[in-house]
Amino acid sequence: MAATISPRSPSPLYRLFGALAAVAALAGCATAPSNLPPAPAQAASPEYSYVIGPGDSLNIIVWRNPELSMSVPVRPDGKVSAPLVDEIVAQGKTSVQMAREVEEKLAKFVRDPIVTVVVTGFVGPYSEQIRVVGEAAKPQFLPYKQKMTVLDVMIAVGGLTDFADGNAATILRTGDGNKQYSVRLKDLVKRGDVSANVEMRPGDILIIPQSFF
């Protein structure tokens, strides 16, 4: 009597690979994250003031004391060194806050010092930088600027790659409790649809996925 040969069931590992392939295919076909709200067109805060970060350059001007005035870099540890004040933490402060602290330090040596701090090179703290990851031509981090838009960001990173699924891009808004928003980069960059242009906020992460087709 001939034996009946039943087809073997797929192994659990095989089924797992199949499921992942199906998810990837669906993600590649999607034109926008359907479960995410679109990014608001306006996001900048009118009260925003630039915050100093490592890598910035500061011009410290002490009125009537040119020998104490100098340009200094903000070190990787967020501090600066200046005459008579040794080290001061600059990271996380505005230029006005920095000037008042330098005045307080110099008051021990100079009568009624008047200090102005001007930021001449901009990097900013990591918490406020714009990060671009995924299928951008030049993924990188950018210093945030008031009223900066996603179009400004895309110009800075050289646009999308040929493999980008631009309309499935998302913004992760770290300053808003890690909320995620959809953004239509393909419509904006490839089709010139300015209605897809939205403002960025300090600390935003722009994520550009790869298209599978």
pLDDT digit string, tens, across residues 173-188 = 999 999 999 999 999 9
Q: What pLDDT does residue 33 have?
A: 60
* Parts of the chain belonging to CATH 3.30.1950.10: 57-121
Judge if pTM exceeds 0.75.
Answer: yes
* Parts of the chain belonging to CATH 3.10.560.10: 30-47+126-208
Fold of the domain built from segment(s) 30-47+126-208: Outer membrane lipoprotein wza fold like (3.10.560)
CA distances 108 to 54, 84, 85, 103, Å, are 27, 9, 9, 9
How many Å apart are CA 11 and CA 148, to the nearest integer?
Answer: 51
**Strand order, beta sheet including 140-142:** 140-142, 130-134, 204-208, 169-173, 179-183
Q: Looking at the domain that runs over 57-121, which CATH code has it been given? A: 3.30.1950.10
Could you please report the per-residue DSSP string of 157-175?
TT-B-TTB-GGGEEEEEGG
Over residues 113-166, the pLDDT tens digits come to: 999 999 999 999 999 999 999 999 999 999 999 999 999 999 999 999 999 999
- The pair of structure tokens assigned to 142 is 């950018």
Q: What pLDDT does residue 86 have?
A: 85
How many Å apart are CA 131 and CA 149, to the nearest integer?
Answer: 13
pLDDT of residue 207 exceeding 50: yes
